[in-house]
A and B are shown apart, each in its own frame.
Chain A
Amino acid sequence: MNPNASSPSSTDESVQPQVVRLVERERPVLAFTLDGAPASAREGDTVLTAVLTMRRHLVEAATDGPCSGFCLMGACQECWVAVDRKPVRACSTLVTAGMHVATRRHVIGG
């Protein structure tokens, strides 16, 4: 799967992903799983970057509405997701091959 392609989502009308790769775009590709579906990232991507190069939101609409992270430095605490069933901050966690990322809040209990 092209890591820069977007996946359509029911929560937003735009088909373009949020984040744009500007430089060093040709790093090795890593395959991982996002919300049960195959996905790919580039080596060195954080989970946040990887997800946002595919869609416009990180966490799907729950009680607070969709969100895409905010501070990118581990301060705002808005990017908590589950990686291999453990809660992590997406902005501070690098993608590794084969990881399972779950972003739906009712699944991670956030």
Chain B
Amino acid sequence: MADPSIVIVGAGPAGIRAADALARHQLRTVLIDEAPKGGGQIYRQPPDAFQRPYSARYGFEAAKARAIHRTMERLASTVDYRPSTLAWNVWNRQLDVLCAGRPDRVPFDFLVIATGATDRVLPLPGWTLPGVYTLGGAQIALKYQGCAIGHRIVLLGTGPLLYLVAYQYAKAGACIAAVLDTSTAAAKRRALSGLAARPRTLAKGLYYRAWLAAHGVGVEEGVEPGSIAGTGAVSQVSYRRKGAEKTIQCDAVGLGFGLRSETQLADLAGCRFRFDADSRQWLPECNTDGESSASGIYLAGDGAGIEGADAAELWGERVGLAIAARCGRPRDSARIAAIDRQLARLARFRAGLERAFPFPAQHVSALSADTILCRCESIRVGEASAAIRDFKVGEMNRMKAITRVGMGRCQGRMCGLVAAELLAAQTRQDIAAVGRLRGQPPVKPMPMPWSSPP
């Protein structure tokens, strides 16, 4: 009897480790990835024309990146690898995919959703001006294209990525005018016991901070974001700190407040979601094997909840082993137990990070009425607030239907979390009570027409 068909969406650290674990049990997978090369975002491989060594591209993560890429190379000949392929819908135990204008359908008995994450953002007045990018986008400009997002850059937000990007940029010769962290030094001190669960990672973070200080890159904590201004493009950022209003001239801003999970396929697959209070996001429910509420559908990596690249690799392997056992292979209990111990430590670290770098939800209520909330549809905070009031909106999908927030091309990726904070604050509800945007296929806009399938 043939082995069940196992499909993995996402060739980042989680998807690659899942495919690898299954391959070790002689189970072939279909590995679908939107990118042309494996590695996800954190270990994203630049186009072939770029030749600089791993140490220059990935810094302290060079060894991990190399290991992931080598694994991918090894797997490419043993899995059914579909790069540059978008999985845009899932229903009836099939994935709808599109590659180079050709649609296809991929049936599965087991599905691993390893779709990763994007930046979590907070709107500011002027944030839609040219020159404003996410922190992740700023990092990709350097990692993937060898470029800086501007000549004189302000990085604003919170989270470990803020310091990592500042360090990577300054080290590569970019001009970082300021690093503005909304979280306070006190919040970080309170989080130390959780962060100490991963002493090497904590040490790296402290090293980046020390390096920035030693190289004259200004870092300010406890910052209250103000506004971004410019004529036609960014020329300055304003903020408040310790009661004083400050302005910095710049031509680019990197904006980011942690990450948010890409859960659209899990939603379309019918997975049950739960509200995660630590990260203030709705996430698909998973059991200890990484299986969702939908039988045979597993989740791994940041797409299931933000835990970082190391956790993504472990979860990928974990779900691979769980699926292998479901396919009749011996259950590798020793390895599973070892993974679970490491994941527990990573979860403690993760909780520490959320305490050290909390999403500054309190700033959402203070957003000025003319701040753009929904970038795609150019809907301002004031318009959305008025509609919430006038139509007595209390829930996210009604908010979307009435205001168009979340109805644009990004389908709520950029605005959805903040829209929920706004709705909850204005209607004086708990953030979990306003619900989440219902997903619709396709998960991303797709160019038409398509050529007909073979």
Contacts and interface: CB of A to CB of B under 8 A. Distances in A.
Given A20-B150, A22-B146, A43-B49, A66 B174 contact: no
Q: Which of A12, A13, A64, A87 has the most CB of B within 10 A?
A: A12
B427 to A, nearest CB: 27
Q: Which of B142, B232, B410 has the most CB of A within 10 A?
A: B232
A11 to B, nearest CB: 5
A68 B408 CA distance: 17
Interface stretch (A32-40, A71-79, A98-106): A71-79
Q: Which of B118, B150, B231, B252 has the most CB of A within 10 A?
A: B150
B141 to A, nearest CB: 6
Contact of B148 (A19, A73, A86, A94): A19
Interface string B397-434: 00000000000111001100000000000000000000
Contacts of A11: 232
B172 interface: yes
Contacts, number: 149
B128 A75 contact: no
A53 B149 CA distance: 10
Contacts of A71: 118-119, 133-134, 136-137, 414
B326 interface: no
A38 B73 CA distance: 38
A72 B140 contact: yes
B232 A19 contact: no
B64 interface: no
Interface in B221-257: 231-233, 235, 251-252
B174 A20 contact: yes
B150 A23 contact: no
A109 B321 CA distance: 47
Contact of A22 (B119, B131, B174): B174
A1 B130 CA distance: 24
Contacts of B173: 22-23
Interface residues of A, number: 46
Contacts of A68: 130-131, 233
A34 to B, nearest CB: 16
B233 A70 contact: no
A18 B50 contact: no
A20 B147 contact: yes
B306 to A, nearest CB: 15
Nearest to A67: B130
B233 A56 contact: yes
Contacts of B128: 64-65, 67
Contacts of B390: none
Nearest to A75: B118
Given A12-B233, A20-B174, A44-B47, 20 more contacts: A19-B145, A20-B148, A20-B150, A21-B146, A24-B49, A24-B51, A27-B50, A56-B130, A56-B232, A56-B251, A64-B378, A66-B232, A66-B233, A71-B133, A71-B136, A71-B137, A72-B134, A75-B118, A77-B445, A94-B47
What 4 pairs between A and B have smallest CB-CB spacing? Answer: A12-B232, A44-B49, A77-B409, A72-B137
Interface of A: 11-14, 16, 18-25, 27-28, 42-46, 49, 53, 56-58, 63-78, 80, 86-88, 94
9 contacts: A20-B147, A56-B130, A64-B378, A66-B130, A70-B137, A70-B414, A73-B118, A77-B444, A78-B375
Interface of B: 34, 41, 46-52, 56, 118-119, 128, 130-134, 136-138, 140-142, 144-151, 172-174, 231-233, 235, 251-252, 262, 375-376, 378, 408-410, 413-414, 444-445, 447
